[in-house]
Amino acid sequence: MEEGRALSEAVLQAGLRALHLPTRTGWEVVADLLAALAVGLFLALLIGGALRLFSRPATRQPDLAANVLALRALSEDDRRVALLHLLKTRAPDRYARLSGALYRPGGLPEADALEREVLADA
Q: Please report, for the chain, the start and end positions of each structural domain, with discontinuous segments joined by +.
A: 24-54, 64-119
Instruction: Give the separation between CA 95 and CA 85, rounded to whole angstroms.
Output: 9
Among 100, 104, 108, CA closest to 83:
108
Q: Are 97 and 42 in contact (CB under 8 A)?
A: no
Q: Are 86 and 67 in contact (CB under 8 A)?
A: yes
Confidence of residue 4 (pLDDT cuts 50, 70, 90): low
Maximum Cα interatomic distance, the chain, rounded to a whole number of Å:
114
Instruction: Give the separation between CA 46 and CA 54, rounded to whole angstroms.
Output: 12
Phi/psi of residue 90, nearest 5 degrees: -90, -35
Residues 1-25 have a mean pLDDT of: 74
Instruction: Give the separation between CA 78 and CA 72, rounded to whole angstroms.
Output: 10
**How many Cα atoms are found within 13 Å in the side-chain-facing hemisphere of 62?**
10
Confidence of residue 2 (pLDDT cuts 50, 70, 90): low
Confidence of residue 16 (pLDDT cuts 50, 70, 90): confident
pTM above 0.85, yes or no: no
